[in-house]
Structure 1
Amino acid sequence: MTLSTTVPGALRPPELHGRREETAAVESLAEGLRAGRGGVLVLTAQPGLGRTALVEYARAVCAPIASVKAAAPAALPQDGPLLVCVDDAHTWRPADRAALLADLRRLPAERPVAVLLTLAEHGAATDVPFGLATLRLRPLDDGAAAALLDRLTRGATDPVVAAWLIREAAGNPRLLCALVSALTSDQLAGRTPLPDPLPGGEDLLDAYAARIDELPAAARSLLLLAAAACEHEPDGAGADLALLLRAGGAPSGLAPAEAAGAVVGAGGRLHFTHPLLRRAVLRRAPLARRRAAHARLAEACRDRLSALVQLACAAGDHDERLATSLAAAASAPRPYAERSAALARAAALTADTALRTDRLADAAEASRLAGDPVRARALLARTAAVPAHGGVHQVRGMLSLADGPAADAREDLLTAAVLLPPKPARHALIGAAEAAWAMGDAAAYREAMARLPACTDDPSLEAYRAGMCAVLAGRTAEGHALLRRCLDDVATESDPAGLLRAGAAALVVGEVETACAAGARALAAVRAYGPEALLPRALEHLAYGELRAGRHNRARAHAIEGLGAAHRTGQPNVAVCLHAVLALAASVEGDAEACSAHAAAAADGAGPHGLTQAATLAVWAVARADLAAGRPGDAAARLAPLVAPGPRRGHFAVRMLAVPCFVEAAVQAGRTAEAQDATAEFTRWAGATADRLAPAQLARCRALLAPPHQTDAAYENALAHHDRSPGEFERARTQLLYGQWLRRRRRTREARGPLRDALVGFERCGARAWADRSRGELRAAGEAVAGEPGPGPLAALTPQQQRIARHVAEGATNREVAVHLSVSPRTVDHHLRNVFAALGVRSRVELSRLLAGEGELPDRDVEIAAQL
């Protein structure tokens, strides 16, 4: 064979992106060769995915071991370890492959030889020995493609251009390189609109289409019709076989096309086996044949919009009549993705710059609503020549509201409202108000809502506008009365946006169950009719309502689904909000690790984009987890800036909801003055709000701050309020605090009742960490908790001593134990000396080891304790 032999040290491994598994397999092959073991690795891939690059990588990592790159039959060198690389083995004649295999078999068995074979995925090299190690190269993911693009352009690519190039390259590194090479620096930087379609990659498309070149004419004609028909179909939908036959496709062409691996038939539709193959079929066909195929399809289409799209594909120049027909047909109830495609075609046929920009903006908005922000931004990029266009600003602002800084979204939407006619300006101002809400800027929210003209044609929207303005201006009673009008039609409303507004109004007035009903109806409407872009937001609204209703497990399920939808539709800002919801749910359920992870994800996204509401919810969640774990000092430190007046305060709609947590933490941490100030403000808010939980929470705050002779009555009053309001979790928290107070006053028999009730309540709502606290308090009150294991080595200790022993063994200091158990550090020290004496241990570390050895403590806690 013709050999290319390496010179030791002459090769440097190429930089590969997104190929960890593949490079690891190659490195394993090289390590085996150095250790005196041979092996075979087969790499298969579609054209352009990097088979040759991996061969060069293998030759580089094997140096200084000799390697040969075989291109045709010849003699192999006979001495020493050897790496044989056979690239594109599918192109060899069967006799040549047989000769290679014979040469490999004749090598001495003791000689280490590694063989790396690469094959096209649809190659015919059936006599190449598979079966040991075969690795299929897959397309690059978006992250790897972005890293490659950044390297190719040295970071000079505009983000919108970069996203579109990555989309068009379909994970193919060779195609991505070709697309970049075919563009100018101004096009890459976004200063000049991109051409449509993008140039570049013709040789790669030839490689994809090579498999159909030898097919019969009938098969090639059918494939061209199928590729053309996909222009009016959603991505991945394939082509309607009946349509192809009506357009003149020969049925005899189907079997050869399927046998060649070009298409797959299913359910009366033809699907190309790779999107680049479909693109190759269209691009390689002569222009006249392409137009003829589109014209035949237009005649055969029974759907008007599909026929118009095919006529647009066949058109050679501007055609305002066809463009007008397309734009008119691209309306409801057509799916948003189809509307966008038709409007983009209409824009391409439009000569007038202003009208073309209108149609591109409409196409971009339809793509946004379809959940495709990458395409929406690419369409907006074609309008760069128009400096001030209301529709462009509106779409850009709504996109930023979903994935950019909220302040940028607000400015774009306010600008759009000035440029747009009254009705679309209304939607822009509502979007600007949503951006201000996310930012936590109440004044900016009122400003945007105040600029909305009276919505006489939409009484519900007008009630919402006027009601929110009144509430934020301090006219609470008037605002609540107006907002309640939004709730009248929840049972019959079908518009998702209107239902989401009704849900928000319900939460403001404290009608939590109505908020959940509105959220559920909005979700059902979006799932049935769209738009896809509203799905994650509908799930977020519903999850938040369920949190307020105390249904934390259902909130978590909807938030997890919403998180997936937010990532799928390119809405990271909504994902941030959903992470905050999941952190809140985890803080109740007792999963501290999940709470911390979701809160960190929310904080990471909220900071750069100015999402104050999500950031506030995340801090509240972590503080509540601190409380559940017996760390009131940490909880108070986190919440103090959010609930106190001043520039660091939290979101205006969340601050008061977090006050009861802060008061509990602050009282236990000795920050009584701050707790009193927060309770005073909470008293004013509770008097104005309709939140049904607020009276019980206020009564609990007062009980925490009451003098000893009034505390009993204060807790009884709080529990009486709970009897008149929903919220099992909040009731159980009040019962736990009451039981703790009674036990601390040495009224252990009386403490057991509220502590038992607290335990049952926490168990019913899945609040594991809080239930554990209740069990501990019950043990300290001298009651064995059903279903718990016996105390093991702690059997000789009193319940209080058992609790102290466990906390100390887990690494807590005496002061931390005192705070957790509501006793003094001196009491902890006294009990700990007795514990050491009773158990015969001399140190905290020995105590940890004793409990771990008896199964009372995980080994990792011994290690932690030993470090303290």
Structure 2
Amino acid sequence: MAPELYGRRAEIAAVGSLVGRLRTGRGGVLALTAQPGLGRTALVEYARAICVPIPTVQRTAPAALPQEGPLLVCVDDAHTWRPADRSALLADLRRLPAERPVAVLLTLAEHHVGVGELGGLTILHLGPLDDSAAGSLLDRLTRGAADPDVGAWLIREAAGNPRLLTALVTALTPDQLAGRTPLPDPLPGGEAVLHDYAAPLDTLPRDTRALLLLAAAAGEREPEGAGADLALLVRAGGDPTGLAPAEALGVVVGAGGRLHFPHPLLRRAVLHGTPIARRRAAHARLAAAGRDHLARLVQLACAAGDHDARLASALAAAAATPRPHAERSAALARAAALTADTALRTDRLADAAEAARQAGDPVRARALLARTAGAPAHGGVHQVRGLLALADGPAADAREALLTAAVLLPPEPARHALIGAAEAAWAMGDAAAYREAMTRVPACSDDASLEAYRAGMCAVLSGRTAEGHALLRRCLAALPRTAEPGGLLRAGAAALVVGEVETACAAGARALAAVRAYGPEVLLPRALEHLAYGELRAGRHTTARAHALEGLRAAHRTGQPNVAACLHAILALAASVEGDAEVCAGHAAAAAAGAGPHGLHQAATLAVWAVARADLAAGRPGDAAARLAPLVAPGPRRGHFAVRMLAVPCFVEAAVQAGRTAEAHNATAEFTRWTAATADRLAPAQLARCRALLAPPQQTEAAYESALVHHDRSPGEFERARTQLLFGQWLRRGRRTREARGPLRDALVGFERCGARAWADRSRGELRAAGEAVAGEPGQGPLAALTPQQQRIARHVAEGATNREVAVRLSVSHRTVDHHLRNVFAALGVRSRVELSRLLAGDGGLPDRDEEIAAHL
């Protein structure tokens, strides 16, 4: 039976191809090279299993290749052969005729392969497993019993090496795997794999090995992959002339005055293969040669053999000074390891975990928290767990953890825990829970801006809108003096509540600049999310998309899928304006996939709104109304309290066109009350547009004109163009085609200016229907002989719409569509809807969906 392999699709295909050639009577050679533990032997076992009933032989020593076949010859670990024997084998393989039914699978360790040694052969390099494949292997090894935080750390420590991951899991107890007892530090079980990694180093000169030991020891305080400072190594006694042999062997790379190990396991292998007394001596030399106080203390901690309260206190004190959060985390973790007192050790582990979280390394943060397993309830531990869950976990879990932390913490950290609990409630869409958490925030006499924000948000969500807006404006008044990223993000949120969209964008831009300059790294995706959302509200969809895409990359890099879900929702909204229906649907699906399991109601609401707006742009008002109706109506399925009213104008437009006028009236009534209380500057214009859509004919024109007057007083190119489009449509339906052209032209220009391609296409179609040629349009092909209205009907029918659906989209009667369609068939010489579709598709009159989808990938 073939072994189960994870993350080896390309390798399995290559081995399968070799065996397939053998089954057709042809041979071949495949050389697999890899670092130790990556699965060379497993692939050989796989090849032997799938080769049945073809015979296989295993070669572990020199022997002549068989003359007859079909036969699979497996030569595993050929690097262990004597060089002369291996050279003879490789020479034979190069002369092996393809017609001879003998296939050879050869494996070698990567560091033992000489330059050009495998020339002329097909070579496949095995790389590390990705995290997904490693996670699947871990689930099989533990039968799904590993605690998620423990599992993430094991995957990180295994560095994609399946044999090392297996060894690490085997060495842990069930309680350690389940997170009930602390993980040992360092993790046991990887000795054999690290020994194999270190084996090539034995051939290096003594001075080279001494330099590598110093480089590996120096890396104990550096971020993984940062390398070691060569000048420091020289001051610590390293001989720089020893670098050349190590570089020639490929175990280290010198660049920019630093030494880098090409793989993290190589650095760990160097330390593991050195007696502990020599390792400690190397750390001591680095401490003496160091010039940075914290770096020297970390090296002294590495050299220490037992608990050392004095050194631990010095490390903790040095870590409290302004430093990169990753360095602070490493120092505090060392201080915890030197601390005998359980309570103090837990304090330091919690601080180390928080510093790792702020550095954007949630896996390390959770691993540090795992070392506190079994300790008494600790406020700092609960706070970090809650903040981690706020970024990657159910929002309800984050809220409960942070509320628990607030009870256990002193006033100052409790304040931050409660603000985090309020953020979790906001993400959940639970206004009452938000007010509860913010009400419990202790008064802050030295931060008037925070107190104004707390009181203002509570007042707004309690229905005391005027009072709340006045308080939030105090928060904005302090904005010029605010430099801390968290305060800037709160000011941006306050600005949106009081309708100061441009102020919100300015606060978001300043927060982003502050995070980029000073950190913490964990706030980068959140700052980009706030800025992108503000720009979206301001109508700058292109810049919103750019910032949201950057935020999405940062969210993935720092392990914040909850923020990623919000950013996907923003990108879906931007795409719904720009007319990229496939892109909109993709981002909306990604937002929903992240929002659903974690209860992120705001992201879910924004995603639905985006898809509905794309439906409207594509002329599917029925679909749009069906999506939005539950969100805007009262009841348990209603949308997020901060978003649902923003979607009402879309719903009213869709509902009126879909014939759901009663629901549109109800939504408009609630929107009227909201507009009277809100400071949103677009709301009066949108309300006037909703009233125009529902007004009797004699009042409609005045309502649209009133809406346009309101638009003149507020920003928002896209929303103004939508009002002009609807006004022009109404005029054209009333046979006032000459008057309709002005609003429709203005709508087209507005949509083009903000990059709303699908909406611009609708405006062009309306202009054509109003009898005006649109400059810059491509030729109409066979449709050129049709009237503008016939062209529109032909396109919709060719796309698969029924006559009734076309009538709804074009706001005409069903009989009108029937009449025009008969004339279309006669003019084009077609006899069916299928022939019409083929005619337009062949002429380019219909989009090629495959090409359209590919364009967005």
Q: 1:860 to 1:353 in 2, by over 3 A?
A: closer
Amino acid at match of 1:251: P
Query: Is residue 154 of structure 1 aligned with residue 140 of structure 2?
Result: no
**Equivalent residue of 1:323, what SS?**
helix
For the residues of structure 1 that align with 2:95 and 2:349, how far apart are their CA atoms?
67
Moved more, 126-135 or 711-720: 126-135
For the residues of structure 2 that align with 1:843 and 1:181, how far apart are their CA atoms?
69
Amino acid at match of 2:745: R
Structure 1 residue runs of 4+, over 6 Å off?
A: 105-109
**Contact 1:360–1:380 (CA<8 Å) still a contact in 2?**
yes
**Aligned twin of 1:809:** 798
**Aligned twin of 2:379:** 390
For the residues of structure 1 that align with 2:404 and 2:244, how far apart are their CA atoms?
57
**Aligned twin of 1:163:** 152
Q: 1:102 to 1:807 in 2, by over 3 A?
A: closer
Cα deviation, 1:546-596, whole Å, max 9, x if unaligned, reads 000001111111111111111111111101101110110111111111111
Unaligned runs of 5+ in 2: 851-857
**Contact 1:42–1:130 (CA<8 Å) still a contact in 2?**
no
Amino acid at match of 1:469: C
**Equivalent residue of 1:236, what SS?**
coil
Q: Following superposition of structure 1 onto structure 2, how do residues 182-261 of structure 1 map, counting pairs within 5 Å?
A: 182-261=171-250
Amino acid at match of 1:814: N
For the residues of structure 1 that align with 2:265 and 2:848, how far apart are their CA atoms?
55
Query: Is residue 310 of structure 1 aligned with residue 299 of structure 2?
Result: yes
For the residues of structure 2 that align with 1:779 and 1:505, how far apart are their CA atoms?
45
For the residues of structure 1 that align with 2:385 and 2:34, how far apart are their CA atoms?
39
Q: Following superposition of structure 1 onto structure 2, how do residues 408-419 of structure 1 map, counting pairs within 5 Å?
A: 408-419=397-408
Cα deviation, 1:458-517, whole Å, max 9, x if unaligned, reads 011011001101111111111111111222243442211000000000000010011011
Amino acid at match of 2:494: A
Query: Is residue 123 of structure 1 aligned with residue 112 of structure 2?
Result: yes
Deviation at 1:600, TM superposition (A): 1.0
**Contact 1:393–1:412 (CA<8 Å) still a contact in 2?**
yes
Percentage of pairs with the same residue: 85
Cα deviation, 1:753-789, whole Å, max 9, x if unaligned, reads 1111111111110111111111111111111111112
1:363 pairs, out of 340, 344, 352, with: 352
Cα deviation, 1:237-267, whole Å, max 9, x if unaligned, reads 1111111111122233222322332211111
Cα deviation, 1:401-449, whole Å, max 9, x if unaligned, reads 0001111111111111111000000000000000000000001101111
For the residues of structure 1 that align with 2:338 and 2:830, how far apart are their CA atoms?
88
Amino acid at match of 1:629: A
2:62 pairs, out of 48, 69, 73, with: 73
**Aligned twin of 1:571:** 560
Deviation at 1:158, TM superposition (A): 1.1
Q: 1:165 to 1:362 in 2, by over 3 A?
A: same
**Aligned twin of 1:331:** 320
For the residues of structure 2 that align with 1:708 and 1:139, how far apart are their CA atoms?
69
Q: Following superposition of structure 1 onto structure 2, how do residues 168-183 of structure 1 map, counting pairs within 5 Å?
A: 168-183=157-172
**Equivalent residue of 2:751, what SS?**
helix
Cα deviation, 1:588-615, whole Å, max 9, x if unaligned, reads 1111111111111111111111111011
For the residues of structure 1 that align with 2:715 and 2:602, how far apart are their CA atoms?
24
Deviation at 1:102, TM superposition (A): 5.5
Deviation at 1:304, TM superposition (A): 0.7
**Aligned twin of 2:854:** none
**Aligned twin of 1:854:** 843
Amino acid at match of 1:143: S
**Aligned twin of 2:416:** 427
Moved more, 718-727 or 487-496: 487-496
Query: Is residue 64 of structure 1 aligned with residue 58 of structure 2?
Result: no
Q: Following superposition of structure 1 onto structure 2, how do residues 626-775 of structure 1 map, counting pairs within 5 Å?
A: 626-775=615-764
Q: 1:592 to 1:319 in 2, by over 3 A?
A: same
Cα deviation, 1:645-679, whole Å, max 9, x if unaligned, reads 11111110001101110111111111111111111
Deviation at 1:207, TM superposition (A): 1.0
For the residues of structure 2 that align with 1:601 and 1:69, how far apart are their CA atoms?
48
2:44 pairs, out of 47, 50, 55, with: 55
Count of aligned pairs: 850
**Normalising to structure 2: TM-score of the pair?**
0.97
**Normalising to structure 1: TM-score of the pair?**
0.96
**Aligned twin of 2:853:** none
Deviation at 1:161, TM superposition (A): 0.9
Unaligned runs of 5+ in 1: 1-11, 862-868
Deviation at 1:63, TM superposition (A): 2.3
**Aligned twin of 1:6:** none
For the residues of structure 1 that align with 2:604 and 2:238, how far apart are their CA atoms?
59
Query: Is residue 479 of structure 1 aligned with residue 468 of structure 2?
Result: yes
For the residues of structure 2 that align with 1:261 and 1:107, how far apart are their CA atoms?
31
**Aligned twin of 1:268:** 257
Amino acid at match of 1:802: Q
**Aligned twin of 1:7:** none
**Equivalent residue of 2:112, what SS?**
coil
2:23 pairs, out of 34, 41, 47, with: 34
**Equivalent residue of 2:186, what SS?**
coil
For the residues of structure 2 that align with 1:40 and 1:836, how far apart are their CA atoms?
63
The alignment yields a C-alpha RMSD, in angstroms, of: 1.5
**Aligned twin of 1:494:** 483
**Equivalent residue of 2:553, what SS?**
helix
Cα deviation, 1:175-211, whole Å, max 9, x if unaligned, reads 1111111111111111111110001121111111111
Query: Is residue 600 of structure 1 aligned with residue 582 of structure 2?
Result: no
Cα deviation, 1:730-755, whole Å, max 9, x if unaligned, reads 00000000000001111111111111
**Aligned twin of 1:291:** 280
Amino acid at match of 2:708: L
Deviation at 1:213, TM superposition (A): 1.1
Amino acid at match of 1:599: A
**Aligned twin of 1:3:** none
For the residues of structure 1 that align with 2:94 and 2:111, how far apart are their CA atoms?
26
Amino acid at match of 2:829: G
Deviation at 1:851, TM superposition (A): 2.1
**Aligned twin of 1:591:** 580
**Contact 1:90–1:125 (CA<8 Å) still a contact in 2?**
no
**Equivalent residue of 2:129, what SS?**
coil
**Contact 2:456–2:469 (CA<8 Å) still a contact in 1?**
yes
**Equivalent residue of 1:795, what SS?**
helix
**Contact 2:112–2:200 (CA<8 Å) still a contact in 1?**
no
Deviation at 1:852, TM superposition (A): 2.5
**Equivalent residue of 1:119, what SS?**
strand
Deviation at 1:858, TM superposition (A): 4.6
1:301 pairs, out of 272, 290, 301, with: 290
Deviation at 1:838, TM superposition (A): 2.4
**Contact 1:89–1:125 (CA<8 Å) still a contact in 2?**
no
Amino acid at match of 1:405: P
For the residues of structure 2 that align with 1:286 and 1:321, how far apart are their CA atoms?
26
**Contact 2:29–2:93 (CA<8 Å) still a contact in 1?**
no
For the residues of structure 1 that align with 2:418 and 2:115, how far apart are their CA atoms?
64
Deviation at 1:104, TM superposition (A): 4.8
For the residues of structure 1 that align with 2:611 and 2:368, how far apart are their CA atoms?
41
For the residues of structure 1 that align with 2:241 and 2:540, how far apart are their CA atoms?
60
**Contact 1:78–1:107 (CA<8 Å) still a contact in 2?**
no
**Contact 1:808–1:817 (CA<8 Å) still a contact in 2?**
yes
Deviation at 1:723, TM superposition (A): 0.9
For the residues of structure 2 that align with 1:398 and 1:185, how far apart are their CA atoms?
27
Deviation at 1:525, TM superposition (A): 0.7
Deviation at 1:119, TM superposition (A): 1.8
Deviation at 1:38, TM superposition (A): 2.1
**Equivalent residue of 1:42, what SS?**
strand
**Contact 1:238–1:272 (CA<8 Å) still a contact in 2?**
yes
Q: 1:88 to 1:514 in 2, by over 3 A?
A: same
Deviation at 1:106, TM superposition (A): 7.3
Q: 1:217 to 1:759 in 2, by over 3 A?
A: same
